[in-house]
């Protein structure tokens, strides 16, 4: 099963570096960061945290856009160009197609993340003369796990929503909403009356808490690395949601008519 | 010349003619709508004032190393005037790790975790209250600069930035420039003048300029704040206290006495000022005997 899925993933990864999205986002991130880095604040060249914050924000936006747009077009593109039929004619199951597409998008995001974080490390190394390798490793890993959940969610969305554009928009709104508000839903629910409180609590307990994986503040404010035990626990937390989304996607894909 | 070439040439002539006709009007419009304004002001207009408080709060969150409540927490970390917070912060007690020990109950806005997700997620964001120190306060300065761009009428932004610039960051020249920028936007504001006097007196040791600036601050206070029902008497107290101490140290005991007597009326603890009045009077008596 994994051989077929990995072969398909390889095709998706190659697609990423043929397309221009990644390069455009990377160049934009580099240009904006360097332009902001050249701004003079009170003739003090030791000021660096605002730059780290801006650069990490751009990296997060860029990778989120990349992951969502890439995952949203995988299955619809195969259907539109009718390449899904010769693909499924080969000894490959629909589940393997879903897994292969997911792994391809996820690995591609991982590669892009590496490039982005290398730029970030160089930037902070030059400005701050310090490179907290362990903290950066934890941040990249958690970021990648978060992108795994988003990618799986978008692949499921591509089987539910009619067009890739609507899937991408809804996925982006949902992801941004969770990142901004997910942590606070329980506090809001406490102040609400029934049945709104129960509904909000149900949402709170069921959504994937993407904000857990967002450790930008720890990096920006030079905090020590997260305790390894807690950091490691975030991986199975992400794996559970990835599995839920992929199983749901497989279930729908197996019952979906491809000719329509 | 072929037809398409002629059309392009004609369009260019029309465009050039139009720009010569529009340009004078455009210049007049630019003058009316505030020429010399910053790029931010031109793009955002009055809406930028809405963002100024948010950006100022961002600077404050940097001061607390990212440990800062959101609107959902329903609590504030500190709620003093921004101008006071800078000096208040430096007066807070900290443990050896820089962790804030002041008002431990007040600063713990997170409370106990509400559920397992809340408990788990707390390992992934900042939950310890520490302050920037040893010159690292510079990290909040970009946000203060941006906040001042957004709302130049907020004098607190200038005084807070100037305080850190002239103290731990060690850039009094930049503090003076920033305060002067504040004074251009808020002419003769007593709070800005007080802070500017501190730069001259404490950093440049220029007694004469400090005296002039503080005297102007006092005068402006009576003109701006004096008529108000809720006048900021703490500000006047600070100005007069600075003036009195400076005059005493400079040996101008008569001026010092005048200011100490005024300070006695303003101070919540006049007994403390009585001691200064007595000492100054003794110095005047000693001078007269000589």
**How far is Cα A198 from Cα B209, in angstroms, rounded to an integer?**
65
B100 forms bridges with which residues in the sheet? B94
- Residue B64 structure tokens: 């607390």
The answer to whether the CB atoms of B124 and A212 lie below 8 A apart is yes
Other beta carbons less than 10 A from residue B130's beta carbon: 19
What's the rounded mean pLDDT across residues B122-145?
88
The answer to whether the CB atoms of B124 and A213 lie below 8 A apart is yes
How does pLDDT run across B69-91, given as a tens digit for each residue? 888 877 666 644 444 444 544 44
CA-nearest residue of chain B to A189?
B72
Residue B105 — very low, low, confident or very high, per pLDDT cuts 50/70/90?
Answer: very low
CA-nearest residue of chain B to A48?
B139
- Interface subset of A 240-259, CB within 8 angstroms of B: none
A233: contact with B, CB 8 A cutoff: yes
**How far is Cα B129 from Cα B172, in angstroms, rounded to an integer?**
29
Burial-class residue B43 by CB neighbours within 10 Å (0-12, 13-18, 19+): exposed
B49: contact with A, CB 8 A cutoff: no
What's the rounded mean pLDDT across residues A193-208?
90
Other beta carbons less than 10 A from residue B9's beta carbon: 11
How does pLDDT run across B174-204, given as a tens digit for each residue? 999 999 999 998 888 899 999 999 999 999 9
| Residue of higher predicted confidence among A192 and A139 | A139
Range from A78-82, B106-110, B213-217 that averages highest in pLDDT: B213-217
Sequence-separated (6 or more) residues with CB below 8 Å from residue B210 = B197, B198, B200, B201, B246
**How far is Cα B112 from Cα A85, in angstroms, rounded to an integer?**
55
**How far is Cα A128 from Cα A122, in angstroms, rounded to an integer?**
10
How does pLDDT run across A217-239, given as a tens digit for each residue? 999 998 999 999 999 999 999 99
Query: What beta strand segments (E) does chain B contain?
Result: none
Give residue B83's pLDDT: 43
Name the residue among B148, B151, B232, B230 with its Cα closest to residue B194: B232
What's the rounded mean pLDDT across residues B110-130?
87
Answer yes or no: is pLDDT of B228 > 90. Answer: no
Sequence-separated (6 or more) residues with CB below 8 Å from residue A241 = A149, A152, A153, A208
Answer yes or no: is pLDDT of A105 > 50. Answer: yes
Residue B40 — very low, low, confident or very high, per pLDDT cuts 50/70/90?
Answer: low
Say if CB A87 and CB A94 are below 8 A apart. no
Best of A38, A138, A221 to substitute, by most chain B Cβ atoms within 10 angstroms, is A221
A211: contact with B, CB 8 A cutoff: yes
**How far is Cα A105 from Cα A15, in angstroms, rounded to an integer?**
10
Q: What is the mean pLDDT of chain A?
A: 90
Best of B39, B66, B109, B130 to substitute, by most chain A Cβ atoms within 10 angstroms, is B66
Name the residue among A144, A146, A136 with its Cα closest to residue A226: A136
State the Cα angle at A79 between A74 and A84, rounded to 5°: 90
- Residue B183 structure tokens: 């004074």
The answer to whether the CB atoms of A223 and B114 lie below 8 A apart is no
Say if CB B162 and CB B199 are below 8 A apart. yes
A171 min Cα distance to partner chain B (Å): 22
Quote the distance between the C-alpha of residue A134 and its chain's center.
Answer: 21
- Indicate the domain borders of chain A: 2-255
How does pLDDT run across A11-39, given as a tens digit for each residue? 888 888 788 888 999 999 999 999 998 88
Answer yes or no: is pLDDT of B254 > 50. Answer: yes
B130 forms bridges with which residues in the sheet? B99
**How far is Cα B274 from Cα B280, in angstroms, rounded to an integer?**
10
A238 min Cα distance to partner chain B (Å): 13
CA-nearest residue of chain A to B73?
A187
B189 min Cα distance to partner chain A (Å): 22
Other beta carbons less than 10 A from residue B232's beta carbon: 15
């Amino acid at each position: 099963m994994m051989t077929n899925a990995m072969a398909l993933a390889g095709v998706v990864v190659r697609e990423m570096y043929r397309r221009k999205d990644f390069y455009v986002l990377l160049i934009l991130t580099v240009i904006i960061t360097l332009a902001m880095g050249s701004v003079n604040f009170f003739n003090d060249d030791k000021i660096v945290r605002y730059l780290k914050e801006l650069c990490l924000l751009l990296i997060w936006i860029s990778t989120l856009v990349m992951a969502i747009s890439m995952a949203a077009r995988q299955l619809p593109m195969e259907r539109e160009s009718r390449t899904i039929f010769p693909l499924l004619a080969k000894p490959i199951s629909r589940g393997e197609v879903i897994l292969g597409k997911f792994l391809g998008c996820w690995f591609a995001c991982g590669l892009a993340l590496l490039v982005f974080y290398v730029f970030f490390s160089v930037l902070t190394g030059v400005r701050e003369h310090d490179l907290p390798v362990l903290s950066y490793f934890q941040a990249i890993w958690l970021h990648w796990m978060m992108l795994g959940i988003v990618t799986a969610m978008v692949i499921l969305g591509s089987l539910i929503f009619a067009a890739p554009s609507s899937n991408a928009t809804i996925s982006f709104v949902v992801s941004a909403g969770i990142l901004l508000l997910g942590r606070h839903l329980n506090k809001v629910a406490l102040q609400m009356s029934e049945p709104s409180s129960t509904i909000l609590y149900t949402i709170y307990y069921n959504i994937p808490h993407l904000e857990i994986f967002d450790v930008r503040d720890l990096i920006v404010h030079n905090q020590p690395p997260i305790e390894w035990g807690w950091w490691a626990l975030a991986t199975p937390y992400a794996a559970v949601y990835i599995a839920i989304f992929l199983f749901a996607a497989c279930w729908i894909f197996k019952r979906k008519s491809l000719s329509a | 010349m072929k037809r398409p070439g002629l059309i392009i040439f004609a369009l260019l002539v029309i465009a050039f003619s139009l720009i010569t006709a529009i340009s004078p009007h455009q210049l007049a419009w630019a003058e009316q709508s505030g020429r010399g304004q910053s790029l931010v002001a031109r793009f955002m207009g009055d809406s930028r004032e809405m963002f100024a408080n948010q950006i100022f709060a961002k600077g404050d969150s940097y001061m607390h190393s990212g440990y800062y409540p959101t609107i959902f927490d329903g609590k504030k970390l500190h709620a003093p005037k921004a101008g006071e917070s800078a000096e208040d912060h430096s007066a807070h007690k900290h443990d050896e790790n820089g962790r804030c020990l002041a008002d431990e109950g007040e600063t713990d806005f997170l409370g106990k975790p509400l559920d397992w997700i809340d408990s788990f997620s707390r390992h992934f964001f900042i939950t310890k209250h520490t302050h920037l120190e040893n010159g690292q306060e510079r990290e909040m300065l970009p946000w203060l600069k941006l906040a001042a761009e957004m709302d130049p009428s907020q004098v607190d932004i200038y005084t807070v930035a100037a305080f850190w610039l002239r103290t731990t960051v060690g850039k009094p020249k930049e503090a003076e420039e920033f305060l002067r920028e504040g004074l251009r936007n808020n002419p003769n504001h007593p709070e800005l003048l007080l802070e500017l006097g501190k730069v001259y007196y404490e950093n440049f040791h220029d007694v004469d300029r400090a005296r002039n600036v503080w005297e102007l601050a006092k005068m402006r206070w009576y003109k701006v704040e004096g008529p108000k029902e809720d006048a900021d008497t703490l500000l006047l107290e600070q100005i007069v206290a600075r003036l009195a101490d400076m005059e005493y140290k400079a040996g101008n005991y008569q001026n010092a006495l005048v200011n100490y007597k005024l300070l006695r009326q303003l101070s919540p603890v006049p007994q403390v000022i009585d001691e200064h009045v007595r000492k100054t009077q003794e110095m005047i008596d000693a001078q007269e005997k000589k």
